[in-house]
Amino acid sequence: MSDAHIDPERAQFEAFKALPRDQPIEMLNLVAFRAEAAYPEGHALHGKGLTGAEAYANYGKDSGPVFQRLGGEIIWRGRMDCMLIGPGDEAWDACFIARYPDAKAFLAMVTDPVYQQAVVHRQAAVKTSRLIRCAPSEGGPGFG
């Protein structure tokens, strides 16, 4: 699995912002952790030997209040057992879907000063990730 895809690239973020902002969104999160967290030089946790999972837990603790204040909620969380279809070298340590009342709430979260301080934990924790914006729709008995 490649060491990339930690933060959105500018073109990806611009495409996200160009979509409607006034409707609910669900974000599929697939996250692979580093064995050892990679905090930047000068950060209080640099060189402290935290695992990626521990750094990600710090991210959740510090960003959670902002996420909740803006109406976010985790609507599904699961553990990856195996890759049935897809690259065999991809393994995900965290798999979940976060729901936001609208895209404006997501944008408010990522620009919030408290979140901006918390995101350093995510950047230190993550080896690679996928964040996929989805429009909610009704479930049902079939695949169609």
SS (H, E, C) 106-129: HHHHHHCHHHHHHHHHHHHHEEEE
What is the reported pLDDT for 1?
Answer: 56
What is the reported pLDDT for 12?
Answer: 95
Rounded to whole angstroms, what are the CA distances from 137 to 23, 140, 144?
12, 10, 12
Return all residues near 37 (Cβ < 8 A) that are at least 6 apart. Answer: 45, 48, 50, 51, 52, 54, 55, 121, 124, 125
What is the reported pLDDT for 124?
Answer: 98
Q: Side chain identity at 61, as an amino acid letter? A: K
Residue 2 has pLDDT above 80, yes or no: no
Question: Domain 22-134 class?
Answer: alpha beta
Q: What is the mean pLDDT of residues 48-66?
A: 98
What is the reported pLDDT for 125?
Answer: 98
Q: What is the mean pLDDT of residues 121-138?
A: 96
Q: By C-alpha distance, which of 131, 54, 55, 122 is closest to 100?
A: 131
Query: Tokens 């991809």 appear where?
Result: 90
Average per-residue pLDDT in the chain? 95
Please tell me the distance from the alpha carbon of residue 77 to that of residue 91, in angstroms, as a whole number. Answer: 15
What is the reported pLDDT for 122?
Answer: 98
Q: Where are the domains of the chain?
A: 22-134
Q: Which two structure tokens, joined as six digits, stand for 97?
A: 């879907």
